[in-house]
């Protein structure tokens, strides 16, 4: 479940299998991720490292996370680690952002902006970011 760690997501994807093409697969995967109930979103989040955190494990998901955070300079890595603490205290879960293509400055700016969200607004943003990550990871899985 390297694309989404919510068991219900994987089960629903298997029920829909086979897909006509890559687009149908990615569309289904992102739509299902967007429709997860909140406890399942939290399960998916539990597999995501904190932005800026160095990973000790070396599985496919860890490697993908490192690739997705490749644009993160060391100075922003430290400030994001501190920002993660504030975010987790406020919302009770890891800060999730689709980091692919973003600079450290952009990630830090988004973290700061999202700290002002109320819980329901932030949950919508988290779902959107999770869906983006699922789509990217499905494409990576198909390409590997």
Closest-CA residue to 141 (of 68, 67, 61, 44) = 61
Name the band, by pLDDT with cuts 50, 70 and 90, for residue 59: low
Residue written as token pair 């952009």: 106
Residue written as token pair 């939290």: 42
pLDDT in tens, 85-117: 999 999 999 999 999 988 888 999 999 999 999
CATH of span 20-143: 1.10.3330.10
What does 25-36 look like in DSSP terms, one character per residue?
A: HHHHHHHHHHT-
By the 8 A CB rule, do 120 and 84 touch? Answer: no
Name the band, by pLDDT with cuts 50, 70 and 90, for residue 72: low
What's the farthest any 2 CA atoms get from each other in the chain?
Answer: 45
CB-based contacts of 136, cutoff 8 Å, min separation 6: 68, 98, 100
Could you tell me if residue 100 is left (phi over 0), alpha (psi between -120 and 50 degrees) or otherwise beta?
beta
Low-confidence winner among 48-52, 54-58, 77-81 (lowest mean pLDDT):
54-58
Judged by DSSP in three states, 41 sits in helix
pLDDT in tens, 1-20: 689 999 999 999 999 999 99
State pTM to two decimals.
Answer: 0.85
Judged by DSSP in three states, 56 sits in coil
Going from N- to C-terminal start, the domains of the chain cover 20-143
């Amino acid at each position: 479940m390297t694309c989404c760690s919510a068991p219900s997501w994987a089960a629903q994807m298997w029920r829909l299998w086979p897909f006509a093409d890559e687009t149908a697969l990615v569309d289904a995967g992102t739509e299902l991720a967007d429709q997860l109930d909140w406890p399942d979103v939290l399960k998916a989040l539990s597999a995501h490292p904190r932005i800026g955190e160095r990973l000790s494990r070396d599985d496919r998901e860890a490697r993908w996370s490192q690739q997705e955070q490749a644009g993160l300079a060391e100075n922003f890595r430290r400030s994001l680690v501190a920002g993660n603490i504030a975010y987790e205290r406020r919302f009770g879960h890891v800060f999730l952002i689709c980091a692919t293509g973003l600079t450290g400055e952009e990630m830090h700016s988004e973290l700061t902006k999202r700290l002002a969200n109320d819980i329901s607004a932030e949950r919508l943003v988290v779902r959107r970011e999770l869906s983006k990550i699922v789509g990217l990871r499905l494409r990576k899985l198909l390409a590997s």
